[in-house]
Amino acid sequence: MGQVSIIMPVKNAAKYLEEAIQSIQNQTSGDWELLVINDHSTDSSDQILQEFKAKDSRIRPYQNTGTGIVPALHQAFGLATGEYVTRMDADDVMPADRIQKMSALLEASEPKTIVTALVRYFSGQPVSGGYQKYEQWLNEVNRSGTQWQNIYRECVIASPNWMARRAELEEIKAFEDLQYPEDYHLTLKWYQSGFKVKTLPEVMLLWREHSARTSRTSDHYTQKAFFELKIKHFIEMDLHTPHLVVWGKNPKGKLTTEILSRHGIPFIWHDLKSYRKIENLENPQIIVAVYPNPKERGQIEKYLTNLGLMPGKNWWYV
């Protein structure tokens, strides 16, 4: 089993940083290096990192030569020497057997494989219903192996919960020209490059929820930013018919049609009440901009399947 390079961007994470690093030091596999990029923190993050470095040579902190998570990830990856690479965030916690189990699965897997696992949110406060639903959805997608069918719905691989071969990441230039939201863009690169995803059926990321998370505070992670990225990549990678249908006259449907219009892509825009009009189209593709309750969702999916339309080929949730 080759050494694992763990890449970790840090921005004012002193409150949680020690616990995150200690969870790495507590791994059952000690064959790792931790490449930490301090993104101009103004708290005591740098002091904490230097103290860890003095006691553990596997921990290698650097200052970000740019600004932000994207340059930090690119810099850390360029410094990595391990056969395998994984990402960790400075406010999260690794279960003790994560490195060992992810490495073993990746070692046993075919080329161009991403290894991931289940996640669990935790917090000093009750985790919101929205995050609980996302955790449930993400875990179900990964258990069922339907990541690429759901690629335009949400980011299907948690950013601090994957492992890949370094050489294969270099081959697809994984950390070059990343756009925000960078975790979603990286996942889209894996999809575009034909990677397969294998999932450990157990929790390998304790995902801390708190009000200062970058995904909550930065404009890089707004719904609009996600839609700009996902619709652009849908056009480039999966659109192959002049008969594109957008279902759902709601905010997500409106945002989708605005982006399609800006790219000069013709489409038909329906609400779900007029769904049967697609039966008159030859080889339609459908962007479903609603995600109703399970019963209604099952009815939609059954209807599309009966028409011979397949998820991830002819239709997608967004």
Per-residue pLDDT tens for 256-276? Answer: 999 999 999 999 999 877 778
d(CA 35, CA 5): 7
- 3 state SS of 220: helix
Structure tokens at 173: 């230039």
Task: Kindly list the domain boundaries of the chain, sorted by start residue.
Answer: 4-219, 223-317
Structure tokens at 184: 């979603």
Mean pLDDT of the chain: 95
β-partners of residue 9 are: 37
Per-residue pLDDT tens for 135-193? Answer: 999 999 999 999 999 999 999 999 999 999 999 999 999 999 999 999 999 999 999 99
CATH topology of domain 223-317: Rossmann fold (3.40.50)
Domain 4-219 in this protein, CATH class: alpha beta
β-partners of residue 287 are: 246, 316
d(CA 17, CA 15): 6
Per-residue pLDDT tens for 218-247? Answer: 677 799 999 999 999 999 999 999 999 999
Which residues have C-beta within 8 Å of that of residue 216, sequence separation ≥ 6?
A: none
Residues 183, 187, 190, 194, Cα dihedral to 10°: 180
Question: What's the rounded mean pLDDT across residues 70-94?
Answer: 98
Q: What is the pTM of this model?
A: 0.94
